[in-house]
Amino acid sequence: MTDTPNHRWLDDPILTVEHLTMRFGGLIAINDLSFSIGRGDITALIGPNGAGKTTVFNCVTGFYKPTEGRIVMRHGKGAQEAAVAQATESGEKWHRDAGGAVFLLERMPDHEIAQRAKVARTFQNIRLFGGMTALENLLVAQHDRLMVASGYSIGGIFGLPGYRRAEKEATEKAVYWLDKVGLLDRADGPAGDLPYGAQRRLEIARSMCTDPRILCLDEPAAGLNPRESAELNELLRYIRDEHDTSILLIEHDMGVVMEISDHVIVLDYGEKISDGDPAQVKADPKVIAAYLGVDDEAEIDVPEVRADLSSARKEGEA
């Protein structure tokens, strides 16, 4: 998919982060960060180590409460300015109307973000339920729907047919995703026994079982070999095209980033230094400086020195 001339993240944003600041004591991990993510885009969040990428993820998915800022998730077309303003004024966590729904993620606890706002995530260090089978992992992900179907366990204890039907559907969905990630043969084996690459794929399948509108992947290609990386790209494209799910990913593998992203946001020291389509970002001198150092000091290739230089440069510019 090629980028459209008028950028989707400006016209039809699914997620908007505005003036996000996160302080841990005296440390400012993210400083006044704003960006938007387009509906149906694959957006990459990149930056050197310690730039604050995972902190942004944790704020978006509710694992951290941001110190300042607003994070808006939108179901339904367009920016829905009026609904966002109304929700912000009213002090509610979300606002629903005929055009869709807006969710103010900074006000919601983590499980509600997954359940209602439909934001799913994976983790940098894989967090599967190792002692449960692959199939069980995917069934746990459909907890909320099954819980309602089981009459909050009361109907389920008596084995009411409604629950049995719902469980069958849930199993079918799990089988569908196991098939998609090529783990159908391992469905009845423990997730903790799978090889690393398969665990990563299973974690993505598990997040997809929550029917997310946006899928946040924290370094999905870390530790994968080139063939597995290529398969991952294929899977992510499939998810975006066939399941109406936008993807936000953190990635260090520039091959993956440049190949599949529609939109790239570059962070450094908790601030956005570049934002645009992959070609723009690749050509941005600030990004080159942050990653490679500036031209005349190109021979210096020590990461610390590079980081020092880039910060000094930034200060000079400021």
Partner 1 sequence: MASTSETAGTGTSGAVPQPERETRLARALRESVIAAGLTAILGFFFLALRTEIETGGLVLSTRWGLWLAAIGIVFVGRLALNLFVFGRLGATTRRKPATTGAGFPVAKVLTWGLLIFAIVLPFFFTIVFPQRDRQYIDLAILIMTYIMLGWGLNIVVGLAGLLDLGYVAFYAVGAYSFGLSAQYLGFGFWTALPLAGLLAASWGMILGFPVLRLRGDYLAIVTLAFGEIIRVVLLNWTDFTGGPNGVSGIPKPTIFGWELGRRDGSFNDLIGVPYDPIQRFIFLYYIIFGLALLTNFVTMRLRRLPIGRAWEALREDEIACRSLGINTRNTKLSAFSIGAMFAGFAGSFFATRQGFISPESFTFLESAIILAIVVLGGLGSQIGVVIAAIAMIGGIEVLRNLDFLKAIFGPDFEPTQYRMLIFGLAMVIIMVWKPRGLVSTREPTATLREKKRISSDVVAQGEGH
> Any contact of residue 65 with partner 1 (CB under 8 A)?
no
Choose, by CB under 8 A, the member of 17, 87, 128, 266 that binds partner 1: 128
DSSP 8-state class, residue 183: -
> How far apart are the C-alpha atoms of 35 and 9, rounded to whole Å?
9
- The 3-state DSSP class for residue 51 equals coil
- The 3-state DSSP class for residue 297 equals helix
Choose, by CB under 8 A, the member of 48, 100, 190, 197 that binds partner 1: 190
Choose, by CB under 8 A, the member of 207, 246, 261, 310 that binds partner 1: 207
137, HSE (Cβ side, Cα atoms, 13 Å): 31
Least Å from the CB of residue 106 to partner 1: 16
Query: Tokens 């090529």 sit at which residue?
Result: 182
Q: In whole angstroms, how large is the CA radius of gyration of the chain?
A: 21
> Any contact of residue 111 with partner 1 (CB under 8 A)?
yes
Choose, by CB under 8 A, the member of 21, 124, 171, 280 that binds partner 1: 171
Least Å from the CB of residue 288 to partner 1: 35
Binding mask 262-301 for partner 1 (x = CB under 8 A): ----------------------------------------
Q: Which CB atom, from 164 or from 237, has the smaller least distance to partner 1?
A: 164
Q: Which CB atom, from 63 or from 291, has the smaller least distance to partner 1?
A: 63
Choose, by CB under 8 A, the member of 3, 18, 144, 259 that binds partner 1: 144
H/E segment holding residue 263? strand 263-268
Question: What order of strands is seen across the sheet that includes strand 271-276?
Answer: 119-121, 214-218, 246-250, 42-46, 263-268, 271-276
